[in-house]
Amino acid sequence: MARVALVTGGTRGIGAGISIALKNAGFKVAANYGGNEETAHAFREATGIPVYKWDVCNFESCAAGIAKVESDLGPIDVLVNNAGITRDATLHRMSKDQWREVISTDLDSIFNMCRHVIEGMRARNYGRIISIASINGQKGQVGQTNYSAAKAGVIGFTKALAQENAAKGITVNVVCPGYINTDMMKDLRPEVLKGIIDTIPAGRLGSTDDIAGGVLYLAAEQAGFTTGATLTINGAQYIAG
Catalytic residues: 147
Strands (E), 36-194: 51-53, 78-81, 127-132, 170-177
Nearest to 188 by CA among 174, 205, 201, 175: 205
Closer CB to ligand CAA, 35 or 189, in the complex: 189
Q: Is residue 106 a contact residue for ligand CAA (CB under 6 A)?
A: no
At residue 206, φ and ψ (nearest 5 deg) are -75, 165
**Near ligand CAA in 24-83, by CB under 6 A:** none
**Near ligand CAA in 187-216, by CB under 6 A:** 188, 192, 196
Q: Is residue 231 a contact residue for ligand CAA (CB under 6 A)?
A: no
Q: What residues contact residue 239 under an 8 Å CB cut-off, 6+ apart?
A: 232
Among 11, 82, 144, 146, binds ligand CAA (CB under 6 A): 144
At residue 65, φ and ψ (nearest 5 deg) are -65, -45
Minimum CB separation from ligand CAA for residue 235, in Å? Answer: 11
Closer CB to ligand CAA, 153 or 177, in the complex: 177
At residue 228, φ and ψ (nearest 5 deg) are 80, 10
Among 184, 205, 220, 223, binds ligand CAA (CB under 6 A): 184
What are the distances in angstroms from CA 223 to CA 122, 226, 229? 17, 5, 11
Q: Is residue 86 a contact residue for ligand CAA (CB under 6 A)?
A: yes
Residues that bind ligand CAA (CB under 6 A): 86, 88-90, 134-136, 141-144, 147, 177, 179, 184, 188, 192, 196
